[in-house]
Amino acid sequence: MSRLRSAQHLLLAAAALASIATSTSLHSCQEAAPPQTTLHGVQTATLDVPGTPWGIEYAAQADRAFVTLTGLSTNGSVQFGNGTLGVLDTSLFPPSLLHQIPLPQAFQLAGKGGVAVAGIAQLTISPDGGRIFVAADQGAIILDAALAIANSSTAVIGTLNGTTASSSPGAQAVQVTLTPDSKYAIISQEHGNGSAANISLMTPGNLNVVRLDDTDQSAGSSLGSLDLGYNVAGTAISPDGRHLYVTSERYTAPGIRLSTSIPCSELVPGFFSVIDLHELERNPAQARHLDVPAGYAPVRVRLSHHGKVIWVLSRESNALLAYDAAKVHSCFSSSSNARKNASDALIATVQVGNAPVDFIFVRNETRIVTADSDRFNYTGSTTGLTVVDVEMALEGSTNGSVHGRVPTYEFPRAMALSPDGQTVLVTQYDSGKIQAVDVRTLP
């Protein structure tokens, strides 16, 4: 039996263990995470880059990757402006920075008109590999991938600006999600159109839906938005293309952690939403099926390749959560009761390191690696990459599911897996570095 097959059997077993797994309190708020075993013998190498690297993705073109270099970090706070798209040569270990494509200044201004701080954020590559969408300000910047690789001065081909004279979908776009047919760009607006700096002015985050032009690769028009919770963050599309999952860090505006001075007792938990993708394309405001509680500050969601497990990473719980997708879906697909309570869909919780903000599947989904940012820097806490054994996690094993921690620099933030599956690149936001990890040397 293949490891993956057996993982599927274990999923069934794990479902039976659900009541045991959910009895753990790991998904409540946690300040510093317990110390982890440091893994020795994992091969890593580091590249210094200018500014604060955030989003990172491998290009469809051989031996190239893209990274957003989002601003300059001075005294621990980021000054947005002069952000670029970096083009990497990944034939080397670590990769090298070939050149930087300047991005439009108008999309990286801070504190515009009393709304949230803004800047460039993560990047997304279109399914055909031809275009790059960089989330920025209240919209996105579109680049031609081949022209960016060629360091062409015409690599930026357009922008998406959801703001009109009468309405604004948001002020802090953090991620662009493209539908599998590339007809729609869904922009996660972390803070909506209110102020991120002033809780009494804060509005819920949302998904702003943009219909991309069929013939003009550089244009699109906003269809509308779906309001969600506060600090809308990660998204994932189901393998069958029917659902979009998206995390909201909190149910209410207050209850956000901005520093260690805000204790767990003042935080509010968050959730992930299940959204009907086809309805989102027609009538965004009506597309939300269900919200599922997901610990404190859930920031990332990703699906197993078969779509049966929904994995969620909760930053203020220091936890990786696994949900049985069929159970989640049964809560809104049952004809008798449109919205049942999905809390029994949680099948595993894994204790990871401090303030995890991204995760990635490696080794054919037998391992998950989390980027533990430690962004609030508790006394005695540390950054790192936690290596999780997926089978053990789904089996409900508390002790066996974590192999240990790979040391990193400051604020590991986003990760990408090379097409050959052998290298993970991790941006280190506060250190101006990209760390390369040799996947073959992980336990």
Residues 160-179 interacting with ligand NAG (rule: CB under 6 A):
161, 163-165, 167-168
Site string for ligand NAG, 202-221 (x = CB under 6 A): -xx-----------------
Is 85:134 a contact under the CB 8 Å cutoff?
A: yes
* Structure token pair of residue 220: 């699109």
What is the DSSP pairing of strand 433-438 with strand 96-102?
Answer: unpaired
- The yes or no reply on residue 52 touching ligand NAG (CB under 6 A) is no
Q: Which amino acid is at 258?
A: L
Residue 87 CB, nearest approach to ligand NAG (Å): 9
- The yes or no reply on residue 283 touching ligand NAG (CB under 6 A) is no
Of positions 81, 224, 307, 404, contacts ligand NAG by CB under 6 A: 81
Looking at beta carbons only, is 82 or 330 nearer to ligand NAG? Answer: 82
Of positions 54, 107, 245, 359, contacts ligand NAG by CB under 6 A: 107
Residue 101 CB, nearest approach to ligand NAG (Å): 8
Q: State the Cα–Cα distance between residues 408 and 355, nearest whole angstrom.
A: 14
Q: Give the interface size with ligand NAG as a residue count (CB under 6 A).
A: 38
Sign of the dihedral through C-alpha 59, 61, 65, 71: negative
Looking at beta carbons only, is 60 or 72 nearer to ligand NAG? Answer: 72
Is 57:123 a contact under the CB 8 Å cutoff?
A: yes
Q: Which amino acid is at 295?
A: G
Residue 404 CB, nearest approach to ligand NAG (Å): 13
Residue 233 CB, nearest approach to ligand NAG (Å): 17
Residues 362-401 interacting with ligand NAG (rule: CB under 6 A):
364, 377, 379, 398-399
- Interface with ligand NAG (CB under 6 A): 2, 4, 72, 74-77, 79, 81-82, 99, 106-107, 137, 151, 153, 161, 163-165, 167-168, 192-193, 198, 200-201, 203-204, 227, 341, 343, 364, 377, 379, 398-399, 410
